[in-house]
Amino acid sequence: MSYRATPVADDAPEKITVKGLDFFYGDFHALTDISVGIKEKAVTAFIGPSGCGKSTFLRCFNRMNDLIPGTRAEGTITLDGQDIYATGVDPVDLRRRIGMIFQQPNPFPMSIYDNVAFGPRLQGIKKTELDEIVQTSLERANLWKETKDILGRNGLALSGGQQQRLCIARVLAVEPEVMLMDEPCSAIDPTSVQKIEDLMDELKDRITIIIVTHNMQQAARVSDFTAFFLQEVAGEAAVLVEYDRTPNIFTSPKDRRTEDYITGRFG
Amino acid sequence: MREGFRQELKELKAEVLSIGRAVTDVTRDAVTSLVEGDVDLAEKVIAGDSEIDRRTLGVEEHSLEVIATQFPVARDLRLLHSLTYIALHLERMADLGVNIARAAKRTADRRGPQTLYDLIQAQGNLVYRVLDATCEALEKNDLELARKLQDLDEPIDHLYKQFFRELARLQDEEDIEWASMMVLASRYLERIADNAVDIGERIAYLVTGDFDALHDLDQETD
């Protein structure tokens, strides 16, 4: 993995802007007053102890939380300046623009080819173009060399690390602008972790990546920006404690709570 | 496991502080050997240098091990990084003390004007004060004291300049080698204090995390 030789410019545009977001699971107030600007074509990491709401926050970006009854979000989240919670926004279209990778690789029980072609087919892409999309997506996910001769094999026959890259290829096939990654490396072996981290570094030339990770070394290695979330009192809403460039967070955090968490003094 | 890590950080800092106090002793002994013409004391200073070299190298090695195995961040990382730099400064300061002891050996068999010995002693006294303050600032993470080292250093530079003026008054028959040894000793003392000021900047960075504290280092040590 190449070290971040060129830091993201201060005036780089924000792909996603969150203002005064509060989130509720029924009566439970999970997140309070979160405001943050996610820079375009950069990797942003969300860190914090278990239960601090970082995954909940991540799922707000593609409205995955809508699928859970009784949830509601207040405040605004804009993608390229457009409110994603506005009436008329199609969540399905939103989830094409903002793809998601989960902790557990979840290929469909179908061939490698069909896994990648699944999204483009739904979009009505013609058969003649599919081959090229499948190849390009697998190449961009660094999985082409390993699978080009076994495209007809079931995706579930691949190793865990390969399955995760297959899921990344499946997301890339529909040309997303943002990729959300929720603990993408916690269920796979170290070599595959390395491959996925390398991949993130390559992909950020084209897309914006947000990763939730419990592994702080990983956050430090892969991200340009880091946001630290904390639920200070059990049962109360979590807050965004600090958001800054990753090297600043890991050398000179400004907030004592961030400092105590990343140095292992709690959490 | 994290407790063991904290203990290691504490021990490393204690070791650097202990080296700092040893360097203060080296400086004191070196100046005394020069002013009193005490060759035995000068020999003792010279012989003790390899031990300080060994200990400072030990600090660097130990810091690297901790960085490689414990992934320190934030103030822990700044502490390890700063301790390594501070140890390097201390090693240089001890070398300068050895240079003063060597000058003591070369000048012990003759006696120059008392004014110059008095000046060296006065300069030495000011340097001890800087060194004591440096150790205290590190021990207590005292930002204010660390920043004050610069002020404490100023009169030392003035004495070095005064030393030149006194030398200019020497008569032709005065021993030129003796005089130049004394000038060098004064210069070494001034350099020891400069290194202490650099350590003060490192302490300021350690405490604040603000790298700007280090930006002027090069200019200040010239």
Taking CB atoms and an 8 Å limit, are A262 and B77 in contact across chains? no
| A27: in domain | yes
pLDDT over 50 (residue A166): yes
Backbone angles phi, psi at B100, to 5 degrees: -65, -40
Tell me how long chain B is. Answer: 222
Give the DSSP letter of residue B72: -
B206 touching chain A per CB within 8 A: no
**3-class SS at A245?**
strand
Backbone angles phi, psi at A78, to 5 degrees: -115, 140
pLDDT over 90 (residue A6): no
Domain total for chain A? 1
| A170: in domain | yes
Taking CB atoms and an 8 Å limit, are B75 and A216 in contact across chains? no
Taking CB atoms and an 8 Å limit, are A262 and B73 in contact across chains? yes
Which residues in chain B are contacts of A253 at CB distance < 8 A? 74, 209
Q: What is the pLDDT of residue B83?
A: 97
| A6: in domain | no
Q: What is the pLDDT of residue B178?
A: 86
pTM (predicted TM-score): 0.84
CB atoms within 10 A of CB A78: 17
Tell me if A148 sits within 8 A of A116, measured CB to CB. Answer: no
Give the contacts of B217 (CB within 8 A, at least 6 positions apart): B198, B201
| Cα of A37 to nearest chain B Cα, Å | 24
| A9: in domain | no
Q: What is the pLDDT of residue A5?
A: 55
Q: What is the pLDDT of residue B221?
A: 45
| A267: in domain | no
* Mean pLDDT in residue range A243-251: 94
pLDDT over 60 (residue B217): no
Q: What is the pLDDT of residue B215?
A: 61
| Cα of B132 to nearest chain A Cα, Å | 28
pLDDT level of residue B69 (50, 70, 90 thresholds) = confident
Residue A141's domain comprises 14-262
pLDDT digits (tens, 9 = 90+) for A103-138: 999 999 999 999 999 999 999 999 999 999 999 999
| A179: in domain | yes
Which residues in chain B are contacts of A246 at CB distance < 8 A? none
A14-25 and A71-79 strand pairing: antiparallel
Taking CB atoms and an 8 Å limit, are B77 and A251 in contact across chains? yes
Q: In CATH, what number is assigned to the domain containing residue A254?
A: 3.40.50.300
Backbone angles phi, psi at A81, to 5 degrees: 85, -5
Taking CB atoms and an 8 Å limit, are B2 and A220 in contact across chains? no
In which residue are the tokens 């405001």 written?
Answer: A35
B72 touching chain A per CB within 8 A: yes
Which residues in chain B are contacts of A252 at CB distance < 8 A? 74, 78, 208-211
Q: What is the pLDDT of residue B113?
A: 87
pLDDT digits (tens, 9 = 90+) for B15-39: 999 999 999 999 999 999 999 999 9
CB atoms within 10 A of CB A61: 22
Distance CA B220, CA A133 (A): 60
**3-class SS at A153?**
coil
Interior/surface letters A232-256, b for 16+ CB within 10 angstroms, e for the rest: eeeeebbbbbbbbbbeebbbbbeee
Give the residues across from A101 on adjacent strands: A181
Structural domains of chain B, ranges and CATH numbers in brackets: 2-221 (1.20.58.220)
A residues 233-252 lying closer than 8 A (beta carbon) to B: 250-252
Interior/surface letters A139-169, b for 16+ CB within 10 angstroms, e for the rest: ebbbbbeebeeebeeebeebeebbbbbbbbb
* Mean pLDDT in residue range A210-231: 95
Tell me if A99 sits within 8 A of A178, measured CB to CB. Answer: yes
Q: What is the pLDDT of residue B216?
A: 56
Q: Which amino acid is at B142?
A: D
